[in-house]
A and B are shown apart, each in its own frame.
Chain A
Amino acid sequence: MSPAEAGSIGGRQPQAVRSALAVLEVVAAAGVGVTAKEISTELRIPPATTYRLLNLLVAEEYLVRLPDLRGFALGRRAANLAPAPLAIPTAARTVMDALRGRVRWGAHLAGFVGHRIVFLDPDPDHPPADPEELTRHPHATALGRLLLAEHEEHLPHGSLTRLTPATLVDRTELRLRLAEIAQTGVARQCGEFRADYGCLAVGVRAPGDDRLVAGLALTGAAARVATAGDEIVEVLRAHAAELAPLLA
Chain B
Amino acid sequence: MRGVPVLRARSPVAGLRRRSLGPFGVLAQSVATTAPAGAMAAVPLLVAADAGRDAPWSVAVAAVLVGLVVACIAVFARRMAAAGGLYSFTAKGLGAGGAFACAVSVVVGYGLLVAAALVGASWYARALVERAWADVAGDTTLIGVAVIVVLAGAIAACAVRGIRLAGRVMLVIEGFSIALILTVLVVLAVRSGGSGSAPPVPDSSGFGGVAAGVLPAVAAFIGFDSATALGVEARRPFATVPRAVSVTAVGAALLYLTATVVHLAAPGVLPALTVAGTLGGSGPIALGAWAPLLLDAGIIASFSACTLAALNTLVRVLFSLAREGVAPALLGRTHRRHQTPAAAVAVTVPVLAAAPVVGTLAGVPPQALLGGLLAVSAVGFLAAYLMVCLAAPRFLARIGELTRGVVVVAGVAVPALAAVVVVALVTATGPLLPVVVGALVLAGVVGWFGLRRARPEALAGMGVYDETTTADVHTGSAR
Interfacial residues, chain A to chain B (CB-CB below 8 A): 30-38, 47-48, 51, 55, 58-61, 64-71, 73-79, 84-88, 111-113, 120, 151-153, 157, 179, 208-211, 213, 247
| A36-B473 contact in complex given A113-B479, A152-B17, C-beta closer than 8 Å | no
Interfacial residues, chain B to chain A (CB-CB below 8 A): 1-10, 17-20, 22, 78-80, 92, 235-236, 238-239, 337, 398-401, 403, 405, 467-474, 476-479
Q: Are B235 and A70 in contact (CB under 8 A)?
A: no
In the bound complex, residues from chain A placing their C-beta under 8 Å from that of B4 are 32-33, 66, 71
| A67-B473 contact in complex given A33-B1, A33-B3, C-beta closer than 8 Å | no
In the bound complex, residues from chain A placing their C-beta under 8 Å from that of B471 are 76, 209, 211
In the docked arrangement, what's the CA distance between A73 and B477, Å? 14
| A36-B400 contact in complex given A30-B1, A55-B238, A61-B236, C-beta closer than 8 Å | yes
| A211-B470 contact in complex given A48-B405, A59-B239, A84-B477, C-beta closer than 8 Å | yes
Q: Are A67 and B476 in contact (CB under 8 A)?
A: no
Q: Are B78 and A73 in contact (CB under 8 A)?
A: no
In the docked arrangement, what's the CA distance between A113 and B477, Å? 10
In chain B, what residue has the closest Cβ to A66? B5
Distance from B406 Cβ to chain A, minimum over Cβ atoms (Å): 10
Q: Looking at chain B's contact residues, is the secondary structure mostly helix, strand, loop, or mixed?
A: loop
In the bound complex, residues from chain A placing their C-beta under 8 Å from that of B18 are 153
In the bound complex, residues from chain A placing their C-beta under 8 Å from that of B468 are 64-67, 73
In the bound complex, residues from chain A placing their C-beta under 8 Å from that of B472 are 64, 75-76
Distance from B108 Cβ to chain A, minimum over Cβ atoms (Å): 28
Q: Are A69 and B3 in contact (CB under 8 A)?
A: no
| A38-B1 contact in complex given A59-B239, A75-B473, A211-B471, C-beta closer than 8 Å | yes
**Considering the complex of A and B, which 10 residue pairs feature the smallest CB-CB distances, nearest first?**
A209-B9, A59-B239, A59-B238, A70-B399, A33-B4, A74-B474, A67-B467, A55-B78, A64-B468, A68-B5
Q: Are A64 and B473 in contact (CB under 8 A)?
A: yes
Q: Which of A30, A33, A65, A247 contacts B80 (CB 8 A)?
A: A65
In the docked arrangement, what's the CA distance between A71 and B3, Å? 10
Q: Are B479 and A84 in contact (CB under 8 A)?
A: yes
In the bound complex, residues from chain B placing their C-beta under 8 Å from that of A32 are 4, 473
Q: List 17 A-B contacts (CB under 8 A).
A: A32-B4, A33-B5, A47-B401, A64-B473, A65-B468, A68-B5, A68-B399, A70-B400, A84-B479, A87-B478, A88-B478, A111-B479, A179-B337, A210-B9, A211-B470, A213-B479, A247-B478
Distance from B459 Cβ to chain A, minimum over Cβ atoms (Å): 19
In the docked arrangement, what's the CA distance between A60 and B78, Å? 11
Q: Are B10 and A209 in contact (CB under 8 A)?
A: yes
Q: Are B401 and A67 in contact (CB under 8 A)?
A: no
In the docked arrangement, what's the CA distance between A179 and B238, Å? 27
In the bound complex, residues from chain B placing their C-beta under 8 Å from that of A112 are 479
In the bound complex, residues from chain B placing their C-beta under 8 Å from that of A210 are 9
Given contacts A68-B5, A69-B399, A74-B474, 18 further A-B contacts (CB under 8 A): A47-B401, A48-B403, A51-B403, A59-B78, A59-B238, A66-B468, A70-B398, A70-B400, A71-B4, A73-B473, A75-B472, A75-B474, A76-B471, A84-B476, A111-B478, A113-B479, A153-B19, A247-B478
Most A CB within 10 A of own CB, among B9, B236, B399, B474: B474
Q: Are A209 and B5 in contact (CB under 8 A)?
A: no
In the bound complex, residues from chain A placing their C-beta under 8 Å from that of B337 are 179
Q: Are B1 and A67 in contact (CB under 8 A)?
A: no
Distance from A232 Cβ to chain B, minimum over Cβ atoms (Å): 27
Q: Which of B9, B79, B398, B477 contacts A208 (CB 8 A)?
A: B9
Distance from A177 Cβ to chain B, minimum over Cβ atoms (Å): 12
In the bound complex, residues from chain A placing their C-beta under 8 Å from that of B473 are 32, 64, 73-76
In the bound complex, residues from chain B placing their C-beta under 8 Å from that of A85 are 478
In the docked arrangement, what's the CA distance between A112 and B479, Å? 7
In the bound complex, residues from chain B placing their C-beta under 8 Å from that of A64 are 468, 472-473
| A58-B20 contact in complex given A69-B92, A112-B479, C-beta closer than 8 Å | no
| A79-B474 contact in complex given A33-B1, A211-B9, C-beta closer than 8 Å | yes
In chain A, what residue has the closest Cβ to B470? A209
In chain B, what residue has the closest Cβ to A152? B20
In the bound complex, residues from chain B placing their C-beta under 8 Å from that of A51 are 401, 403
Q: Are B405 and A71 in contact (CB under 8 A)?
A: no
